[in-house]
C-alpha cells in the first residue's frame, strides 16, 4: 500500500485526478471502477475540469460502478444512477453504452449479478478502481463480515451505513434502502490498481484499522493490504489515527525527490 497524506481534501483529489489522467493518457480505452458518496465528488469535478479545459478524452473509456441501492427507482434523486449522471457522466464524453451500473430494478438479482461480473471480464477487467471507505471499514457496500472472496451480490446495509447515508434521504434513516447490490471484495481485489480516498475525522478509525490493523472480514478494506497496487489518499483528519504517519510522509517525500518533482 502506498499511503499519501495531504493537508486538505483538495490536495488529495488533485493527486487522485492526476493518477487517473496519467492512466487515461497511457490507455485511452481505460476501464474504470467508480464509487459514489461524498468522497469522490472533488475527483469527478477535477476530471470534468480536465475534460473541459485540457481536452482529456473519455470517449473510449468503460466504467463499472461499485454499487446501487435496491428498492428505489434509478430516477430517485438519491440513487447512484442519478449521482453519476449529475456529478460526472453528463459532463464528460463516456459513451452511454460503456457505462455500467448495478441495476436495482432487475427482475432476477442473482442473474443480474452474474451478468455484471461477466461484463467486467468481457471489458478486460478493471484497470483503476476508485474507492471510498465506510466508517466501519466497508468498501463498496461490503459490510463487516463480508467474505473477502465475495463477488457481486445483494448485501444488507448496517445501521452505521444507514445512519451515514440518511442525510441523502432528508435525514430520515427509515427512508434509506436497507439493501444494495455491490461488487464483491473479490471483484474489487481483481482491479489492477485501487485508489482509496478518505477525508475527515469520521474516517480516521476505519483508515487506521484498514491500513495498520490485521486483515479481517470485520474491516473489509483491510484486505487491500494484500492488493499489489493500492494507493491510499488521505487528508490530515482521516490520517490522524495512523501510528506510522511520519514514516508514510517520509516515503512519499522520498518518492517525489526521486521523481524530481
Ligand atoms: C459508494 C461506496 C461506499 C462509499 C463509502 C463512503 O459507491 O461504495 O463504499 O465509498 O460509504 O461514503 P462517503 O464518501 O459518502 O463517506
Query: For residue 132, what is the enclosing H or E element?
Result: none
Residue 184 to residues 3, 40, 118, 151, 248, Cα–Cα distance (Å):
23, 20, 13, 4, 29
- Written as one string, the DSSP assignment of 229-255 is SEEEEEETTTTTT-TTHHHHHHHHHHH
Phi-psi region of 257 (alpha: psi -120 to 50; beta: other; left: phi over 0): alpha
Query: For residue 67, what is the enclosing H or E element?
Result: strand 67-70
**CA–CA dist 52, 93 (Å, integer):** 10
**CA–CA dist 61, 31 (Å, integer):** 6
Cα atoms found within 13 Å of the Cα of residue 135, Cβ hemisphere only = 13
pTM of the model: 0.97
**CA–CA dist 92, 98 (Å, integer):** 13
Distance 37 CA to ligand 1 centre (A): 5
Ligand 1 atom 4, closest CA: 132
pLDDT digits (tens, 9 = 90+) for 153-211: 999 999 999 999 999 999 999 999 999 999 999 999 999 999 999 999 999 999 999 99
pLDDT digits (tens, 9 = 90+) for 38-59: 999 999 999 999 999 999 999 9
Give the 3-state secondary structure of residue 153: strand
**CA–CA dist 20, 190 (Å, integer):** 18
DSSP state of 12: H
Ligand 1 atom 3, closest CA: 140
Say yes or no: CB of residue 132 within 6 Å of ligand 1: yes
Ligand 1 atom 10, closest CA: 132
Distance 176 CA to ligand 1 centre (A): 14
pLDDT digits (tens, 9 = 90+) for 53-112: 999 999 999 999 999 999 899 999 999 999 999 999 999 999 999 999 998 777 788 899
Is residue 14 scored above 80 in pLDDT?
A: yes
pLDDT at 103: 86
Distance 210 CA to ligand 1 centre (A): 15
Ligand 1 atom 12, closest CA: 37
- Within 10 angstroms of residue 177's Cβ, the number of other Cβ atoms is 18
- Indicate the Cα dihedral angle 151, 155, 159, 164, nearest 10°: 70
pLDDT band at 235 (very low <50, low <70, confident <90, very high): very high
**CA–CA dist 158, 217 (Å, integer):** 14
Amino acid at each position: 500500500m502506498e499511503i499519501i497524506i495531504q493537508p486538505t481534501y483538495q490536495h488529495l483529489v488533485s493527486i487522485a485526478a492526476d493518477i487517473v489522467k496519467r492512466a487515461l493518457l497511457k490507455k485511452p480505452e481505460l476501464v474504470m471502477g467508480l464509487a459514489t458518496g461524498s468522497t469522490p465528488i472533488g475527483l469527478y469535478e477535477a476530471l470534468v475540469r480536465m475534460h473541459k479545459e485540457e481536452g482529456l478524452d473519455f470517449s473510449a473509456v468503460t466504467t463499472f460502478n461499485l454499487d446501487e441501492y435496491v428498492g428505489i427507482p434509478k430516477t430517485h434523486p438519491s440513487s447512484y444512477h442519478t449521482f453519476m449522471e449529475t456529478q460526472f457522466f453528463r459532463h464528460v464524453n463516456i459513451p452511454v453504452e460503456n457505462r455500467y451500473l448495478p441495476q436495482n430494478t432487475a427482475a432476477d438479482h442473482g442473474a443480474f449479478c452474474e451478468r455484471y461480473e461477466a461484463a467486467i471480464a468481457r471489458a478486460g477487467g478493471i484497470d483503476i478502481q476508485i474507492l471510498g471507505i465506510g466508517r466501519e471499514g466497508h468498501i463498496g457496500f461490503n459490510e463487516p463480515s463480508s467474505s473477502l472472496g465475495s463477488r457481486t451480490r445483494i448485501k444488507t446495509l448496517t445501521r452505521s451505513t444507514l445512519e451515514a447515508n440518511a442525510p441523502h434521504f432528508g435525514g430520515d434513516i427509515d427512508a434509506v434502502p436497507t439493501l444494495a447490490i455491490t461488487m464483491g471484495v473479490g471483484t474489487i481485489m481483481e482491479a489492477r490498481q485501487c485508489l482509496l480516498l478518505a477525508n475527515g475525522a469520521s474516517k480516521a478509525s476505519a483508515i487506521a484499522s484498514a491500513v495498520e490493523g490485521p486483515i479481517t472480514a470485520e474491516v473489509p478494506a483491510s484486505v487491500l493490504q494484500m492488493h499489489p497496487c493500492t494507493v491510499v489518499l488521505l487528508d490530515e483528519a482521516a490520517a490522524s489515527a495512523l501510528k506510522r504517519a511520519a514514516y508514510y510522509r517520509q516515503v512519499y517525500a522520498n518518492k517525489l525527490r526521486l521523481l524530481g518533482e
